[in-house]
């Protein structure tokens, strides 16, 4: 798991990369954090929600997670680079690398998750999207991110 300090530094590092490309800053998003924690797996790179951008990486346990973002920025705009742990774009419509995902101009939110793996490495997944677009597609997303009981209650209210 990521600590609050990890979250702060990884968000700040993303925003430094975005700022150097004249992009607006992005914010840590609890909804995407839940997704990242759900999909992270040491054996395979599972993407986040279909509408989101996903970045994956494997690093040594004990390494500072945020330094990975600087490594990603070195990839530049070349989407033909062979990546050990790759990336995904919404609905897999375009080629990507970690860097091109980070600097998408419409992004407003992000979150990451980390998991220690048996081989003394640490798996990292970061998810990115535009929160306003996500909520416009699913106006009840704030309800469905709550407890299971709340979801059932809200569904009943919708059917009335």
CATH of the domain at 80: 3.40.33.10
Q: For 67, how many CA atoms within 13 A lie in the half-sphere containing its CB?
A: 7
User: Is 15 within a domain?
Assistant: yes
Q: In which residue are the tokens 């040491």 written? A: 42
Measure the N-to-C terminal CA separation of the chain; round to a whole number of Å: 40
Q: Is residue 77 part of a domain?
A: yes
Q: What pLDDT is recorded for position 137? A: 82
Beta strands in the chain (DSSP E): 27-28, 53-60, 87-88, 109-116, 121-129
Say if 24 falls within a structural domain: yes
Predicted confidence at residue 148, as pLDDT, reads 33
Instruction: Give the mean model confidence (pLDDT) for residues 43-63.
Output: 93
pLDDT in tens, 29-48: 999 999 999 999 999 998 99
Residue 8 maps to a domain = yes
Q: Indicate the number of domains in the chain.
A: 1
Q: What is the mean pLDDT of residues 154-158?
A: 38
- What DSSP designation does 69 have? H
Q: Is residue 135 part of a domain?
A: no
Phi, psi at residue 58, to the nearest 5°?
Answer: -120, 125
At 85, the pLDDT band (50, 70, 90 cuts) reads confident
Residue scoring higher pLDDT (11 or 143): 11
pLDDT at 67 over 50: yes
Contacts 24+ apart (CB under 8 A), 70-75: 70/13, 70/17, 72/17, 72/97, 72/98, 72/99, 72/102, 73/17, 73/20, 73/99, 73/102, 74/99, 75/99, 75/100
Task: Answer yes or no: is pLDDT of 82 > 90.
Answer: no
Give the pLDDT mean for 149-158: 34
- Specify if 25 maps to a domain: yes
pLDDT above 80 for 158: no
| Residue 28, beta-bridge partner list | 110
Instruction: Please give the share of the chain, as a percent, with pLDDT higher than 70.
Output: 86
pLDDT in tens, 117-136: 999 999 999 999 999 999 88
Which of these, 142, 153, 154, 147, lies nearest to 30 by C-alpha position?
A: 142
- pLDDT value at 115 more than 90: yes
Q: Which domain holds residue 40?
A: 4-129
> What CA–CA distance (Å, rounded) separates 62 from 49?
28
108, part of any domain: yes
- Specify whether the CB–CB gap between 114 and 42 falls below 8 A: no
- Measured CA to CA, the distance from residue 99 to residue 134 in angstroms comes to 22
Percent of the chain with pLDDT over 90: 74
Residue 51 lies in a domain: yes
pLDDT band of 156, cuts 50, 70, 90? very low
Residue 30 tokens, joined: 């609890």
Residue 121 main-chain phi, psi, to 5 deg: -115, 175
């Amino acid at each position: 798991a990521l600590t609050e300090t990890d979250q702060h530094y990884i968000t700040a590092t993303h925003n430094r990369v975005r700022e150097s490309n004249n992009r607006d800053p992005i914010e840590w998003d609890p909804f995407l954090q839940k997704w990242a924690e759900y999909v992270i797996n040491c054996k395979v790179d599972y993407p986040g929600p279909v509408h989101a951008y996903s970045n994956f990486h494997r690093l040594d346990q004990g390494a500072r997670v945020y330094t990975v973002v600087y490594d990603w920025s070195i990839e530049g705009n070349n989407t033909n680079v062979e990546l050990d742990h790759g990336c995904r774009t919404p609905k897999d419509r375009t080629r990507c690398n970690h860097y091109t995902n980070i600097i998408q101009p419409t992004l407003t939110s992000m979150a990451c998750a980390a998991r220690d793996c048996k081989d003394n490495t640490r798996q990292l997944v970061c998810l990115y999207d535009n929160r306003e677009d996500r909520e416009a597609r699913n106006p009840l997303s704030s309800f469905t991110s709550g407890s299971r009981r709340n979801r059932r209650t809200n569904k009943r209210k919708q059917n009335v």
